[in-house]
Amino acid sequence: MAKDGASLDETLEALAETYRLVLGIDPSFDDVRSVSRAWSDTTLAYLHQLACADPMTGLASLAHVRSRLSELYRGELRLATRVRDSHALVVAELPQDRHVDPTDQRAKHVLTRAMRLSSLGDAARTVFAGTETIGKLGPERIVVVVERDDRLGQRVALLRRMARTLQGGGESARVWIEGLPGTDATAALLLDELARS
């Protein structure tokens, strides 16, 4: 029943009702415990299967990006460099599709937006092919957690050019480098702001 979305309370109530109908008594403690364990095991198995990626685009979830940033900030305790000096965010935003109303939530338009974002994510994976975390910030925006190096500007320019080809010569995607703040808490607020904008 847990696989079908039934709560533990609903499952135990169904067990009790079945017992009363068939045997005319309440279920034994051992039977209640067995059903509870089975429900818990099924629920845990489901939770362990959950991925850190958006199923429509394959991009990391916002929670995963936030977790990755937290790891970097915790690593400051061991390293001599500060995250705001060693890392940055590369943000890429698709232009509005002039053929689709952004408020239209019909399945075909949601799918179209997801496919466009997935293509932008693929371009980002091509440019940032190392250990960078590439995540979804919203229906039109992705973020890449990158190390700052001498080639960062060139890589951003390449992503910008690749994004332009995805648009078929139309208005090109905005791509920019966003500096990271000094603390993990402020970085979380920055991600939230970028996801809202």
Distance CA 142, CA 176 (A): 11
What is the arithmetic mean of pLDDT over 138-153? 94
**How high does pLDDT run on average in the chain?**
86
What is the arithmetic mean of pLDDT over 11-21? 92
Tens digits of residue pLDDT in 180-195? 999 999 999 999 999 9
Choosing among 3.30.70.270, 3.40.640.10, 3.40.50.2300, 3.30.420.40, the CATH entry for 62-196 is 3.30.70.270
* Beta-bridge partners for 179: 88
3-state secondary structure of 131: coil
Q: How confident is the model at residue 52 (pLDDT cuts 50, 70, 90)?
A: confident
What is the Cα 99 distance to its own chain's centre?
27
Distance CA 160, CA 132 (A): 17
The structure tokens listed for 196 are: 């809202």
What's the pLDDT score for residue 167? 63
What's the pLDDT score for residue 168? 52
Asked whether residue 109 carries a pLDDT value surpassing 80, the answer given is: no
Distance CA 27, CA 33 (A): 10
Distance CA 130, CA 178 (A): 19
∠48-136-174 over CA atoms, to 5°? Answer: 170
Q: How confident is the model at residue 48 (pLDDT cuts 50, 70, 90)?
A: low
Nearest to 61 by CA among 153, 166, 158, 138: 138
